[in-house]
Amino acid sequence: MGRMGFSPKHACLTDEKDPNRQKITNLTSCLLVSCQLNLHCEVRPPFSSKFPLPFFPSLPIGTKATKMSTAFSAANFSTQSFPLNHTSTTSHDSPLVFAKPTSQFLRSTRKLRLSSSSKLNLNRRSGTVVAVSDVVKQKKSKSTPTLLITKEEGLELYEDMVLGRAFEDMCAQMYYRGKMFGFVHLYNGQEAVSTGFIKLLKQQDSVVSTYRDHVHALSKGVPARAVMSELFGKTTGCCRGQGGSMHMFSREHNLLGGFAFIGEGIPVATGAAFTSKYKREVLKEADCDHVTLAFFGDGTCNNGQFFECLNMAALWKLPIVFVVENNLWAIGMSHLRSTSDPQIYKKGPAFGMPGIHVDGMDVLKVREVAKEAIGRARRGEGPTLVECETYRFRGHSLADPDELRDPAEKAHYAARDPITALKKYLTENNLASDAELKAIDKKIDEVVEDAVEFADESPVPPRSQLLENVFADPKGFGIGPDGRYRCEDPKFTEGTAHV
Amino acid sequence: MVLVLRNYKLRNSRLVPSPFPTTLTGCSKPQILRPFSFQLSPMAAIFQGVGAAAALPSSPSYSFDSNKSVFSPRRSFSVRKGASFAVVRSDGTVNLNPKDRRAQLLISNAVATKADSAAASSSSKPGHELLLFEALLEGLEEEMERDPHVCVMGEDVGHYGGSYKVTKGLAKKFGDLRVLDTPIAENSFTGMGIGAAMTGLRPVVEGMNMGFLLLAFNQISNNCGMLHYTSGGQFTIPIVIRGPGGVGRQLGAEHSQRLESYFQSIPGIQMVACSTPYNAKGLMKAAIRSENPVILFEHVLLYNLKERIPDEDYICNLEEAEMVRPGEHVTILTYSRMRYHVMQAAKTLVNKGYDPEVIDIRSLKPFDLFTIGNSVKKTHRVLIVEECMRTGGIGASLTAAITENFNDYLDAPIMCLSSQDVPTPYAGTLEEVTVVQPAQIVTAVEQLCQ
């Protein structure tokens, strides 16, 4: 039995032994066989051969599968040292509950699976799927372990993910203690996506996020103190307390927010990418290669703004990467229930950009995909759509009782905790010792504690801050009845003017 | 300073209109000009036949020039034959020069004063004549030359030159990236403009029709208005969102919307409405130079107004109102197309012996309460004439603002003439009735001044 790559979310499983087996539509039953999941990285060339094929520009069309896999190091990764999520249980032998195939999608995927298990043919049009797992089989024999990351990189990734986790846990604590209010959306479990992508960026690259943006801010470099104060609503927060949990902005670190409505940030990210292209082509700043990352969720992928921006980004070859953090749930709406074709990465080729699907619980895989996507954008080859399959361990927000999700599903993903997996990888490959990792844990704990202390001790915004920053040019408040601009009125600066 | 009043004659079939004397420049300190007491000959109606503008997309630019009689007045209006104009100098001397119709039209106005403002002599002709959409184009072009960060985005702004030709020729001059033809995705390209503005560009986003910007309401309200604040002042959004709105010539309900009433509550944006070529260019330039997000409302029917504007660089202050006609009896506050209906009514009113003070408020958000207030304090009666709907329109806000601030000065309740709360019907007769007509304005003033 060869290794199969699949994702439980897709609820499709092809067993090469019995291709006639019915599809699994029930997510829960899929989990029983999901432990086998290791590398699953489908590289989908764009739909029509008019567009550049394949995903990696260095490979001409028709390149043999083995070569393809070498170019894509995640494939290498899967052949050599054990993948992060390898588990020993081969539960695909356990009895499965099968349901009748109900969706055309599943049937088509099955066809795709079967076809891809045969010889890889990059010339194949519409629906070519390169399931790297099949490629992997061929490389298995001659594996010489080459690690994907150095020790420093590994520790950096680990520290970033632990910071994200510890910070979010502290947020929850503080929320329940009444230090912060409103909507707080925590990122537990999805750290691999944030760390995997953002740690590859430069300072001038931009990140646009959603309301689940604390960890994106931290990964981008915004100090934990600033984020925590912002959550507490203090004036020392990164947005002076005026934004809150859902509006993290940082000009210095080029974090363009923080948006409360889903999909709202995607056009803004497209605009930032447009500026980068404009600077290069119109303002002639030849070395301007700033990349923008837009993070959003599975629910957003049914929103008009998503599609409109995919179109525009592909049309003008903007240097942007669209990162879908598919955690299967939009509050209580399962992705499968709300989307006609749940495979989001397929929507990329429809617009003429590559669509990649990657295991978002595995930071190394995400990082490899991110390298390529960001590299593509930097070289001016245009946008990429990356779908990261991930999961949030907590509810949608701290107000969400999270009763709808299956405990078995949660348990399954909890077992694939990205931090534990990276830790295991680092220790088993002798990149870091337990002691070093524990030291990092401790350091992060201190950082988070310090952030809370700082936020606690910071002052709340004074009343005079109310009318500041409404307009960049405060003359926008207009001319008062006395003939002076309202902003010149002393009561205005005290915050007691009525505008 | 020189006060020049001008009208024109309808002779044969030629119409040589010009808008009522318009303002010169924006100045930081508004002032009131004491009107001179002299007998003015009644003014003719201002302009007509902007119905032609409704057919614009397929037709080349109109000229109001002499040899073309492109349109006929939609309705008859009394034009006094042999009407003349008077040049009144600041020292009180009056110079009647009926023969020279093309002489100076620049007027220094109440709000703006510049001692050496445009030449008074009737023989020199400083400035150049152009139509309102050309004025917008000129303003835009000058700003694009001045600052390479200024760019234009919108549907059909590039190769097509803009559906109302406001961006004609810009794509050839500045390239396809600076004058970007976008797909039909208002929400997203407005958001893209906002993202570009946050990261250093100064985009001018065109809505082909203001009504289409309803699709962009999400981005305009949430991001355009709010991001400067929610980011704690870190990101500025120097974007200009512009487009034609208002009731046109039988364009149907969806193309005849007045979005100023919907946008006015959004905190963080400024709204201005242009009404003459002079203030169109001035406001366009001021909006582009402003660090705030500005929404510039143009009107479909006003694109073909012709006026002589100065050659030199000038801007109109975004927060100021414009004194169109000083008066004593009643303050009429208006903006955009209704300004012309008001001026037409003013002619009738003057005939009947009233002396209305007409102010084009220009700045829809924030209101210039100083100019308005001074006027209220003088006349004690206010009539607001607007094209917005009755419910929740600019007039409603203005009524509230004036009542709050100047209630003591009012001798009578504020009257507000607005469009009917109906979707604009297609039929011409019905459409006429939905918007305020000069006859209604005359009646309202008579009622107010009892």
SS3 for A120?
coil
Helices (H) and strands (E) in chain A, counts: 18, 9
pLDDT at A145: 61
Q: Which two tokens stand for residue B379?
A: 């006349």
Q: Are the Cβ atoms of B230 and A247 closer than 8 angstroms?
A: yes
Position B42 scores a pLDDT of 39
Q: Which residues of A touch B268 (CB under 8 A)?
A: 470-471, 476
Mean pLDDT of chain B: 80
Q: What is the DSSP letter of A250?
A: B
B362/chain A closest Cα distance in angstroms = 12
Q: How far is CA B317 from the centre of its chain?
A: 13
B329 catalytic? Reply is no
pLDDT in tens, A235-280: 999 999 999 999 999 999 999 989 999 999 999 999 999 999 999 9
B60-98 confidence digits (pLDDT tens): 333 333 343 333 434 443 434 444 444 444 444 444 444
Give per-residue pLDDT as tens, A150-190: 999 999 999 999 999 999 999 999 999 999 999 999 999 99
Peptide bond into A54 cis (omega under 30): yes
CA-based torsion, A51, A57, A58, A62: positive or negative? negative
Distance CA B114, CA B92 (A): 18
Mean pLDDT across chain A: 78
Give Cα separations from A428 to A81, A417, A434, B108 (angstroms): 9, 16, 10, 83
B221 in reach of chain A (CB within 8 A): no
**Best mutation site among A274, A288, A307, A482 for testing chain B: the one with the most B CBs within 10 Å?**
A274
| Cβ contacts of B271 on chain A, cutoff 8 Å | none
Catalytic residue among B255, B299, B329, B341: B255
pLDDT value of position A498: 67
User: Looking at chain A, which residue has its C-alpha nearest residue B267?
Assistant: A470
Looking at the complex, does the CB of residue A233 fall below 8 Å from at least one CB of chain B? no
* pLDDT, tens only, A471-492: 999 999 999 888 889 888 887 7
A contact residues 272-291, partner B, Cβ 8 Å cutoff: 272-279, 281-283
- The yes-or-no answer on residue B186 being catalytic is yes
The answer, yes or no, to whether residue A142 has pLDDT greater than 50, is no
State whether A305 and B30 contact (CB < 8 Å): no
Q: String of b and e for A286-301 (b: at least 16 CB within 10 Å)?
A: eebbbbbbbbbbbbbb
Contact A187, A215 (CB under 8 A): yes
Interface confidence, given as ipTM, is 0.74
What does DSSP assign to residue A367? H
Indicate the residue of A242, A271, A485 with minimum beta-carbon distance to B195.
Answer: A271
Strand B330-334 vs strand B270-273: parallel, antiparallel, or unpaired?
unpaired
Cα distance between residue B319 and residue A474, in whole Å: 11
Q: Residues B427-450: pLDDT tens digits?
A: 999 999 999 999 999 999 999 998
Q: How confident is the model at residue B337 (pLDDT cuts 50, 70, 90)?
A: very high
pLDDT-above-70 percentage for chain A: 70
What CA–CA distance (Å, rounded) separates A228 from A459? Answer: 13
Please determine, for residue B267, whether its predicted confidence score (pLDDT) is greater than 80: yes
Distance CA B179, CA A495 (A): 41
The reply to whether the predicted model has a pTM over 0.95 is no
Among A308, A286, A306, which Cα is nearest to A296's?
Answer: A306
A77 pLDDT band, cuts 50/70/90, is very low
Q: What pLDDT was estimated at residue B86?
A: 44
Does residue A28 surpass a pLDDT of 60? Answer: no
Helix axis angle, B277-289 to B132-146, nearest 10°: 30
- From the candidates B134, B143, B186, B320, give the one annotated as an active-site residue: B186
Q: What would the two tokens of residue A452 be? A: 């809370």
Q: Is A462 on the interface with B (CB under 8 A)?
A: no
Give the separation between CA B267 and CA A29, rounded to whole angstroms: 51
Q: Which range among A117-131, B34-48, B242-256 has the greatest average pLDDT?
A: B242-256
Residue at A399: amino acid letter: A
Per residue in B180-201, pLDDT tens? 999 999 999 999 999 999 999 9
Q: With 70 as the cut, is the pLDDT of residue A421 above it?
A: yes
pLDDT at B174 over 60: yes
